[in-house]
Structure formats: C-alpha cells, structure tokens
A and B are shown apart, each in its own frame.
Chain A
Amino acid sequence: MVKLEGNPDHPVNRGTLCIRGQAGLQGPYNPDRLRGAMQRRDASGALRPVKWEEAEKFLVERLTGLVKQGKGKRIVVVSQLESGSLGRLLDAWAGALGAERMNYEPFNYEAIRHASRTVFGRDAIPHYAIEEANVLLSFGADFLETWLSPVEHARAFTRMHALKHGKAGTFIHLEPRLSLTAANADEWVQNAPGTEELLALAILRVILDEGLQAPGVDIALLRAAASKVDLQSTARQSGVSGEAIKHIARTFAKAKPGLAIGGGVAGTSAFAVETQVAIHLLNYAAGNVGRTVRFGPDSAFGKAAPYVGAQLLTQRMANGEVDILLLIHANPLFALPAAGGMAEALKKVPLVVSFSDQPDETTQRAHLVLPDLHALESWGDFSPREGVIGLMQPTMAPVFDSRSAGDVLLSVGRQVLGTPEGKGPLRWPAFQAYLKDQWRGIAREYSPATPFDQFWEESLRRGGAWKEIGVVPVQARSAPVQGKPATVEGDPQGLTLLVYPSHRFYDGRGANKPWLQEAPDTMTQVTWDSWVEVPAEVAKKLGLRQGDLVKVASPHGAIELPAYISESLHAGAVAIPIGQGHTAYGRYAKDRGANPLALLPAPGPAGLPFLSVKVSLTKTGGRRPLAIPQATADQDNRELARHVTLPTARELELRGAAPEKASHPSMYPDPKYPEYRWGMTIDIDSCIGCQACVIACKAENNVPVVGKEQVAYGRDMHWLRIERWQEGPAGHPETLFLPMLCQHCEVAPCEPVCPVFASYHTNEGLNAQIYNRCIGTRYCNNNCPYHVRRFNWWDYGSPTSSSHAFPDPLHLQLNPDVTVRQLGVMEKCTMCIQRIIAAKDHARDEGRLVRDGDLETACQQTCPTQAIVFGNLKDPSSRVAKSSRSPRGYHVLEELGTRPAITYLKKVTREHGKA
C-alpha cells in the first residue's frame, strides 16, 4: 500500500481526501503499532505478548463467569461512533451477553441534535447544503477543518463561493479566533467568546424588525425568541457593532437561500443548545429549512450516544459496578477531560480489554490487548449519513499479527454462550459473513429489484451503495433561548479558554502520524508541538515572547505550553488546539505539547464543554521555541499571493483579458516541446489551506519526515508547502493561501548553475533533477528565487543511519516508482513524473498521446476544492491550458523572468462590510 486516494464515485468525497485521510497509511504502518495480542498477567506487571488462543480463552473464561451468574450488566462495551455493521454487531453481541453498550464520539454535535429535537421535533443532525446557499453565515463552525464532514463541505464551499459566470456566494463567519475557516471568510466578524447565541438572536431580531423574514413563517414564535435581546446590549456584550449586525442580518435574509450553521467552540459552550436553537430559528426565519437545511439525509453523528453516557459510565466504574470493560477504538483516557475522573475509575475495573492497534493511553492501562486490524486490512462499512454506505474490503494483508475485532468478538461470544457456529445470536463464522448478511438488508432497501449477489458485487466494485433521500418536512416550534452571553466558570478577570479540535490531529488520534506532526498548522505554521495562542495585548502585558513557556491554569487543572503570540485573537481569550499532549501513543505523539482537556470540567449534557472556563496565564521563565517554517506572514510588497476585488474579477471575466506576459526579451530561442509541455494552474481563490496536498505529496514522493529541530532550522523537506500570507491590519487581516512548489520555470535559474547537469530541462517542460548525478553544491537552491528545492542534509534513506526517516514498517509505504533520495543530494517537486511516465506508457500501448485527464498529480488528486489543475499546456483544449489563460492568472515573481509553468489565479476578495 503506497498511498490513499478517495473513491471518485463516493458522494461525500468524490475521490478527494483531507489531510488526516491522506496520512491514514501511517496507521497500519506505524512503527509503534501493536504487533500482537498482549496481556498483563499481574497487577504490577507489564503488558507481555500472549498467544491469541490464550488471550481469547482468558477472555471467554472471565466473560462466562459473569454471564453465568447473570451479571452481564457488569460488562460494558464502549466504542467510538460505529455507524456500520461493526456497530450493529457490537449491539448484537452486547444483547446476546446481556452486556451494556455505549458509544461516544469526542466531537458529537449533540447540541445540534438537541436543538433539532426541540425546534423541529426531529432527533437528528440535518444535512447542510452549503453549495446551494448564496450567503453562508457561520457561528464558529469550523466546517473546513473538522465540523461534520469537512471534505464534503470544502467542495461545497468552493462551489458556493468561487466566482463562476459572474456569480459568487458570500461567506460570513463569526468567531473570536482567526481559525482556518475564519481566514477563508469574506467577512470574518470577531465576537466575544460565548456570544454566538446572542448574536444569532440579534440578527433574528433585525430580520423581524425590518420585515425581512420569509413569507409564511410563524412570526410570533420567532418574535418570542428574538425579543430576549436588543441590538445595543448585544453590540456591547459581543463587541460586534450594531451596524455590522444589521448588515449581516440583511445580507443573510436577502440571500434566498442563505444558510446559517453553528459549531466549533461556539457549539460547546454552556449555551450550546440554545445557540443551535437560535441558529435553527434563523434558518427558519430566512426560509432556509427544507432548502439548505434538510432533515433527510441526516448525519450519522446524530447516532452518537449523549455525552452524559460517558459520565455515567465513569461513575459506574468508580463505584465498582463494572467488571469487564471492552474498548473498541476508544481512548477515553486521552479524549475525556481529566476532571471527569476516568483515570481513577479505570483503576476500579478488574479487566480492561482494549481492541486498539495503537499503544494509546487507555490501552497502556488495559489488562488485555487484542489489536484489531486496520480498516485497510479488514472488511467493514461506514455510513456517514443516510443514503450513503461505504463498503470496505481488505486491500492489504495484515502487517502484524492482529485480528479483526469483529471476528474475535463473534468467536468469543459464541464460546461464552456455548453455541456452535451457524446457530444462536452470534452464528456467523467471521465478521465478513456478518457484514455480508447485513448487506442483505441494505440491498432490500437500496436496490430491491437487483438479486443480492449482483448488488453485493456491484457495491464492492463501487465501494458502497448510495441513494437519494427525500427531504422530510418539519414544522418549527417554540424553544427556550437564553439571550445572554454563555456563562464561563473561573476567575472573572481571567481569559476565556477556547479549546478547539485540530484539523491535523482531530481529537488526538492523528498525533501518532509523523506526516501530520510535520505538516504545519496552516494558520500558525507550527509543527510538531502544541501551543497556547495568546493575544498580542496580553502577551505584551505579561512580557511574553513567542516560544516562552506559559502556565495555563483553570479551576480544573494547569498545563504548560509555549506561547504563540497572535495579533488577531480576541483580547479576552486564549486558544489551545486539541490533539497533542499524549502520555503514550508511540514515539511521534508521546510527550509532545499538552492536552488542554486537562483544563476543562467534566462533560455536561451538551457534550465536551470546550468553552466553559476562564484561565490565568503565568510566565514560567522557560522557553521552548516553536518550529515554524514560515519566517513571516508579511509579503513585504512582493505580491507573491495576489488578489483582486470581486467587481474587478467580474469585469476581468467579462473582458476575458489574458494574463499579462512578463516581457523579458531573451537572446536565446524559446525552448521547443515536441509533444507535451506539462503545466499547472493553482486557483488561490479556491485554496482553503487544508494541507491535504502537502501530505499527498509526501506520501506519493517518499518525502522524509525530519523532526522538530530540523523544521525549525529551515531544513524541512516538503516539496509542496502552503504559505499563509496576510495583508491589511494585523488584527483583522486578509489571509491568502499560496501553495508553493517547484515552478518548473522555462528559464530556470537553478539549471545553468548546476556544474554537473543534475538540474536540467526536459523537452516536456519539466525542470528535472537527477539525484544520482547531484554532487550537492546547493548552488541551485541559492539561485531558486522560490526556495522550493530541498537538500538531504542528513541520511534519511538508509536504515543504518541515525536520521533514518522510515523505521520499520513505515518503509513498506514507500512508493516503489520513486527513488528514496540519498545523503547529500538536492530534491524537489517533479510534477509526479512517475505518474506522467505511467500515463505515457499507457497511452503508447494504445497508440495515442496522453489525453487531458489521463493523469493527475498527487496534490491535484486530493485537493477537496480542486484548486489545482495539471496537464499539457500544448493542448489548447486542455483544462490547464484554458485556466492558465484566465484573466486572473499571474506568475509568482514573474518580474525575474523565470517564466514558470505554474500559473496562479488571483484570489477574489470582497471589500469588508460590502459583502
């Protein structure tokens, strides 16, 4: 297995993956992955390898003991949200043994579900049709990072937002922090933390006061909610001016349809449910329900158990009411706030069984570890929402001696019940059979006319089954709202703590993947560490510099983190991303940063309370500099990332002016390209800075991971990087994302300076690098104005080297079509030349030239917004040739006369306040 790519037919991702999806391969190939079953034979002893048969036998004995005594309730099966057959099997298994069953998902959107229940009488998370909205109004929902379905949202967002035929949607985002999603907003409105509900109601009030509501809505119902707030006090409490609120209300109401969504930190405050109620009401008032807010298809997240369950379980465990705890893909020790007392409660459970294949915190404390197969090694299915079921079959042999959790549970369950194969509630010989059996039901629902065998085969080939789901009409009812800022616990003089999910690590499960550790967090560009984002004003008061260690203390705990000084964070807040601070979980995750959940109270009815405490900051005097590869976010007037205003872009589109050609007369004849000239366009209006391409490139091209110290010292090896540039006032900048890779210049400054022709120009317009010819003078990288060349400062490739970047079995992921570079040579983007060669070979077999669309570069393939187009510039009908003639096209540093093969399309910006 070399690389993960999405299924082009899948309705959710259409073949693209997010950054975490791209890094998925470092799960099965993780060098710290558990290599087989393990058991702790005595309380003080360590986990030791044990034979699978013995482990199963042990578990069967212990389970049988309880089941025979009728104490099945003392067995608890905990999993993450399993929306497919495994989840059903767990339910069936627990049912058969009389055991308790619960699932929990760290980010579970319980507030939306709760609000839907109260407002629309439907216990579900609706589908938000972002692509159909003309105005998207987000109350802190980080829908481009982690919220619900980020890849799908990213594609939808581009379709809604990018300029097409003179039309472009508007995205307004309210958040105290300039998150990646906020940076993509046309208008980022900074509000005081916890005032989202207030603002939603104030916007609703303006709509009602100005009569902008959709016809036929229940005005009295809305008025009852909106009358809780008035514009002036809302403006005062939220820090958003009355004018701005009016402007948002008008823009939103006139969108027809618009779409309001809420999430992120805003969705986890004490008033999370009320915030979602207010947002539901806003959508209702603007007539969006049934159009952009659709019940049916509902999101699978609606099926996650309420968080209260986790708390109840902890209590039962603490009371000694749980004898056997089975954990399937769950790491509660890390993913629950320490204040909940899980660590203590776990000690009271005599037998903790973990099915995790990674040495995570909870698994380290388990008595029996039965590592499950990775999803790529096993059968499985997953339904992200109604009407979409992905079907997975094993794509690789198991790397280690792991066994499918489904298989193990079936076998163990049968032994406990004493039923033979083929009989009883757990009659299936293996999980595969159970899955196939489950799909008989799915077949009846999805394709009743097709014989099952045919349906099964088609689904396997297609990678799942999907169907349209009809929209369920709903009626709004009155629901309680608060109309005041969310209450926050702790020192009133303190700073409100914003704990937010990381788009690289999610709830922390990504932290063991070195690719994710080394990919910069786009907004801060920090790698390998976590940090506390401190507003510049506060930092000044405390005398903090970037990288100074800060003690962050809340009523529930304290952690120490290096400071990241932010000009744009709300002055009354500090922010810490979730995901780091593991105390176990392998060499890449362990002892890196700190876990902000330690600062939070135990989960309440609305899930994890990410916005619930105030903290105080103390400078410790220590320093831990952050590894940030981007020296500055200021372009210094160099116009690397460019933008045009929407009216100008419209006008340009009408005129269809070709991009200005830099006029650099040359005495040399132009290069000739007999068949192809490969080129690329990157639309920075579509780029959302998600970094998926960065990891795709690393996976495809065997790019080594170099570690924190080397990244900090300008020696990272990324062939492709996402640069974040900011313009305008530091507190409220315009953010531009610029994917930067080798520009494959026609007049490449790197080529003439190489004394040995290691860097040369191919007759297909590629700037090629011959690794085994390079002697390492590094002249080329000095002379490359873009500095996209990467030098092998250390010996990353050889297994005997102390810098070896591919410890066993990570080397199994290496792409056999790409050389692993040796010590002392220069490397860089090749435009995936191995894919070009494969496509040319294929075309030659068919006796033709490579056609447009025959191949995609790795970065292009995974881009959720399809901002990257690659192809043959010589073919005037190719997509790349057309888009490179876009009136928004330009070349980075074109005044140097390098004539890059990569054309960038300028970002289209809306003037603030006029969106």
Chain B
Amino acid sequence: MNQHPTRSSAVRQPTYADVNRDVIRTLWAPSPTYFGWMSVVGLILTAGILAWTWQIYIGMGAAGKRTPQNWAMYITSFVFWIGIGHAGTLISAILYLFRARWRTSIFRGAEAMTVFAVMTAGLFPLIHAGRMWFAYWLLPYPNQRYLWPNFRSPLVWDVFAISTYLTISVVFFFVGLMPDIAAVRDASTGWKKRIYGAFALGWEGTDRQWRHYRRAYGLLASLATPLVLSVHSVVSWDFAMALVPGWHSTLFAPFFVNGAIFSGFAMVLILIIPMRRLFNLYPYITDRHLDAMGKLTLVTSLILTYFYVCEAFTAWYSGEHFERASLFWKATQNYAWAFWLQYFCNSLAPLVLFSRRARTHTPTLYVVSILVLIGMWFERFNIIVPGLGHDFYPYTWGIYYPTVTDTLIVIGSFAWFFILFLGFIKVMPSVSIVEVKETLPHPVKAGHH
C-alpha cells in the first residue's frame, strides 16, 4: 500500500487489521493542507457570523428581501440544506434495510453529512426571522401567557419535522459510531482514550452487546426510514399550503423528496471523492461505490425531470391565468437565467451518467455533482424568488437583489457545514470500521476448526 493506487480495482483486498489501521490513521495529527482548508473555511464562517450579527443589530433590511419577496435566499438555503440531509438517512437507513452492501464504506460520511446539513438548515429559520430572539415562541411550551403555536401553520409543522429528524439522525449516527469509537479508544492513549472511552459507552464487543446493537440499529433504521419521506414533504408544504401561484400544488411533496435525495447524493459524492483521496481510502471507497452512487443520482435526476415536466404541464393545462403568467414570466423574464440554469444542471448535465465511464471517472462525477448542487439550490431559488416576484398582484411585482449581508450569510452556511465536516473527519472514523469488516472475508486462523 505504499505506492499510490491509481485504480482501486487493482488494490488488494484489505484485511481486518488494514481496516483498523487505515481508518484510525485518518484521525492522526492533521496535515498543513488540512489546517489550510480549516482556516479558509473558518474565515468565511467568521464573515458569515459577522454578517448575521450585523443583520440582527440593524434589521432584516440588511438582507435584500422586500415585498413581494418576503422570503429569498435564506429559505432557499434552508430547503437546500434540508434536502442535502436526506441522502444520508436514505443511504444509512433504507439501504441498510434493503441490505445494499455497497453502502458500508460511504454511509458514515453520509450520516455525518445529514446531521451537519440539518444543523445548517436549522439555522436558517432563525436567520430568517425578523425577531429571531423570539423564535422560541414557535415551540409549544407551557407559559404564563397561555400562548400556544398555531398548529395550522406549516412553519410549526417544520419545527416538529426538523427537530424529529435531527434527533433521530443524531441518535442513529451515534449508535452507528459506537463500536468504531470503541476501536479508536482501543487504539489511542492518554486523555484521548478517556474521551473516546466515555463516548464508547463501555462497548466491549461482546456477543450480547452485538445482539442488542444489531436490534437497536435495525429499529432505528426502520424509524428513520419514514422520515426520509416525511421531512421534506412537510418542508414542501411550506409552499404547497400557501396560495402563491406555482406553490399551491399537490405535486410538491414527492417533487421535493426526490429533489432532496438527488441533491443529497451529489453532496455525498462531493464529500467522499476528496476524502478518499485525502485519506487514501481507495480500498474501501471503490469505483463500485461511485458507480452505484452515480446510478442513483441519474435515476433521481430522471424522476426530477419528470416532475419538472409535470409542473410546467400543470401550470399550462390548469388554464389558470395566474399560474401560467407566473411560469411564463419565470421562463422568459428577469430570472430566466436561473430558470434555465436549473434545467441544465438538474436535467441535462446528469445525463452523462448514463455512461459507465463517466460514473467511474471521478472528475466528471465531481463536476456533475457540483452542477447538481448548484442546480438544486437554484431550483429552490426559482420557486421562492421568481415565484413570489410575479404573483397575484401586479402592483407589487418586483425583483430581488441580494446584498452583501445575505450573500455572506449564505456562503457562511457552507463554511459552517464544511467546518463541521472537516472537524468530524479528524475526530471520528469517517468510514465505518465495523461494517467494512463485515463485507470482508473472515480472517481465517491457522488451525481453524
């Protein structure tokens, strides 16, 4: 394993000992490159935090919102990040239940991504609220004012959907990590050992523990599975329950769920491709994995295209003036560039993944994934900003212009996500030691009976 492997198919099957060594190696003292990345991301994050502080101090006017775009990039990014968070659960829970064994080497990264994406998404409702210091009023807590949230409001549904999702994701993530933390504990010394020891919750790898662990993991997977469908459905109802032309559609829930998974896969690819290179994880994250991910991305892209067609067809076929005018405006006027960019990124670019060579050619895969992320961000942008820009009332039609403040906050949210992820890969095994071992042939001792 000393020479740099160019094609992982040529790599020798690793042994259990290799797995332990290779994975735990990723937790060693970071390289200058790592610190370089950390400082870049940290700087951007600081700028974002300063921008948010400014916005809280001076008022929501610092962000470019206006009438009619009372919502803009914050809600766009909120939906985007929630969407990103979907692939993680899909890969870890649904694929686990379906026993898709190729998930083993990527699900840890995907799960971490889920948790961090939901943590990022969860910031946006706060950033977005005009009086974020009262955002806790969204929670149903007993209070002397006898005030309760309005359970008819999709925003309250969001609170429940997202907090549930975050809870389950964190628990699932942690349970999956437990045996690996124990492995790290065993490989480390000093204060690190104590900390990992505490998080390992006394894991010893006994049969009894394994039996309980398996059962718990299965149960959690079953619990998490419906959330993949429900969370983004609920988020989509923020729009579908509203009256705005282009929003008020029953199409939204499946449309959003599929889009979420689509973007989530793209994000997983964006994260694991460099991780594989950085930590030399070629034996574990093989071309087979990338191929499978590429296929799923392609499938979800095709489904999404179908929804796009449905969306346009419904608007046209409804014969409703408001819907038609809104769609026509989006496609031809000020925001047409964003509209067509979305179709290019989400419907056209992924078509190259029909080719197996493209699916295993990491630069292509990487570029497609980035395009998909851009496309999916703009999909939400197109629903919100141009959608609101040309609604029922011609008097107030208008164009939204981003400001420095809201742009920095949105960019800062990416930095927040990446800083969490970068931190994670240095403190926790980013490939599951346990599950990778399961896919390997059992080590056979001499004199095996």
Contact = CB atoms under 8 A, between A and B. Distances in A.
Contacts of B322: 638
A778 B132 CA distance: 12
A152 interface: no
Contact of B394 (A636, A794, A896): A636
Nearest to A724: B395
B241 A791 contact: no
Task: Say whether chain B's binding surface is mostly helix, strand, loop, or mixed.
Answer: loop
Interface stretch (B27-35, B153-161, B252-260, B374-382): B153-161
A763 B265 CA distance: 51
Contacts of A794: 58-59, 61
Nearest to A893: B392
A732 B154 CA distance: 47
Interface stretch (A70-78, A221-229, A697-705, A779-787): A779-787
Interface in B232-247: 238, 241-244
A754 B131 CA distance: 14
A640 B150 CA distance: 31
A897 to B, nearest CB: 9
Nearest to B67: A714
A204 interface: no
A123 to B, nearest CB: 49
Interface string B59-82: 111000111101100000000000
B42 interface: no
B57 to A, nearest CB: 9
Contacts of A636: 321, 325, 394
A635 B155 contact: no
A612 B391 CA distance: 46
B129 A777 contact: yes
A631 B242 CA distance: 23
A793 B65 CA distance: 9
B191 interface: no
A91 interface: no
Given A776-B130, A825-B131, A753 B242 contact: yes
Contacts of A792: 59, 130
B68 A782 contact: yes
A592 B394 CA distance: 29
B153 A778 contact: no
Given A636-B325, A755-B155, A787 B67 contact: yes
B131 A723 contact: no
B128 interface: yes
Q: Which of B66, B238, B396 has the most CB of A within 10 A?
A: B396
A721 interface: yes
A774 interface: yes
Interface in B38-70: 58-61, 65-68, 70
A8 to B, nearest CB: 33
Interface string B124-157: 0100111110110110000000011110111110
A775 B59 CA distance: 13
Interface string A763-801: 000000000011111110111011101111111000000
Interface range on chain A: under 10, 10 to 19, 20 to 34, or 35 or more? Answer: 35 or more
Contacts of A795: 58-59
Contacts of A148: none
B238 to A, nearest CB: 8
A834 interface: no
Contact of A757 (B125, B131, B134, B147): B147
Given A714-B68, A779-B153, A896-B243, A740 B130 contact: no
A824 interface: yes
B135 A638 contact: no
Interface range on chain B: under 10, 10 to 19, 20 to 34, or 35 or more? Answer: 35 or more
Given A714-B398, A782-B68, A794-B59, A775 B138 contact: yes
A756 B138 CA distance: 6
B98 interface: no
A775 B129 CA distance: 6
Interface string B359-401: 0000000000000000000000000000010011111111001
B381 to A, nearest CB: 15
A803 interface: yes
A773 B68 CA distance: 22
Contacts of A634: 394
A714 B138 contact: no
A699 to B, nearest CB: 22
A630 interface: yes
Contact of A638 (B66, B394, B396): B394
A756 B145 CA distance: 13
Given A713-B66, A754-B150, A795-B59, A774 B388 contact: no
A823 B150 contact: no
Contacts of B137: 755-756, 773, 775
Nearest to A892: B393
Contacts of B401: 713
Contacts of B61: 710, 715, 793-794, 803
A382 to B, nearest CB: 38
A775 B130 contact: yes
B260 to A, nearest CB: 21
A635 B394 contact: yes
A789 B398 CA distance: 15
A637 B321 CA distance: 9
A893 B135 CA distance: 33
A152 B261 CA distance: 67
Contact of B395 (A715, A740, A749, A775): A740
Q: Which of B59, B137, B321, B391 has the most CB of A within 10 A?
A: B59
Contacts of A823: 59-60, 130-131
Nearest to A787: B396
A232 interface: no
A319 B134 CA distance: 71
Nearest to B151: A755
Interface in B94-146: 125, 128-132, 134-135, 137-138
B224 to A, nearest CB: 26
Nearest to A776: B130
A785 B71 contact: no
A723 B153 contact: no
Contacts of A824: 59-60, 129-131
A752 interface: yes
Interface string A876-900: 0000000000000000010010000
A752 B156 CA distance: 11
A233 interface: no
B390 to A, nearest CB: 9
Contacts of A826: 130
A791 B130 contact: yes
20 contacts: A629-B396, A630-B395, A723-B395, A754-B153, A755-B149, A756-B138, A756-B150, A773-B137, A776-B60, A777-B128, A778-B71, A779-B153, A779-B155, A790-B67, A791-B70, A794-B59, A823-B59, A824-B131, A825-B131, A896-B392
Interface of A: 629-632, 634-638, 640, 710, 713-715, 721, 723, 740, 749, 752-757, 773-779, 781-783, 785-787, 789-795, 802-803, 823-826, 893, 896
Given A752-B153, A755-B137, 4 more contacts: A636-B321, A756-B137, A775-B130, A776-B129
